[in-house]
Amino acid sequence: MDKNSAFTARFIEACGTDEPACIQRLLNISYQAAKNYLHGRLPQTEVLLTIAERTSCSIDWLLTGRGKKFFDGVSPQDTPISTGQFDELVRRVKVEVINEMSGSQNAGGPRIVRLQPSELMSEKVLDEVETLTGSQP
């Protein structure tokens, strides 16, 4: 394991990928530089500023793991999101949809529904197929 494995993990999280080609395009750096950073080499100041600009990640968090991850709370539109961020987004959308369907948004505020990752993965679409086609699959 490399000496900067914690940096590497945060770098991958910030970029939303561990694919050098994707990081190359995101940061407009060479493919080899992307591979070097994925193997623990710390970027020079100019590259750190680019990472912060393109991902909205704090340089302090990226290098040390301290402080807030995002310096302004908003990611640029073209920044890929991590799996954890995607899961959280799906959970929030599902809560909004469930609340809207159950009518609980107008009845004393939104209802909080906590979904487990296993529940997200085990949903079935059989009811939707029946509704759309009028027949069972």
pLDDT surpasses 70 at 120:
no
Q: What is the pLDDT of residues 74-117, one digit of tens each?
A: 555 566 666 666 666 666 676 666 666 666 554 555 555 565 66
71 assigned to some structural domain? no
- Please state, in angstroms and rounded to a whole number, the distance separating the CA atoms of residues 78 and 17: 13
Contacts with 94 (C-beta within 8 Å, 6 or more apart), sequence order: 113, 115, 120
The pTM score is: 0.52
Q: What is the pLDDT of residues 16-34, one digit of tens each?
A: 999 999 999 999 999 999 9
Q: Which of 33, 64, 95 is the last residue of a domain?
A: 64
At residue 67 the predicted structure's pLDDT band, cuts being 50, 70 and 90, is: confident
82-120 per-residue burial string, b: 16 or more CB within 10 A, e: under 16: eeeeeeeeebeeebeeebeeeeeeeeeeeeeeeeeeeee
- Count of the separate structural domains present in the chain: 2
DSSP helix, strand, coil percent of the chain (3-state; round to 5): 55, 0, 40
Contact 99, 110 (CB under 8 A): yes
Q: Which domain holds residue 87?
A: 83-133
Residue 44 corresponds to which tokens in the numbers above?
Answer: 């020079």
78 assigned to some structural domain? no
pLDDT of residue 20: 94
34 assigned to some structural domain? yes
* C-alpha angle 52-35-59 in degrees, rounded to nearest 5: 20
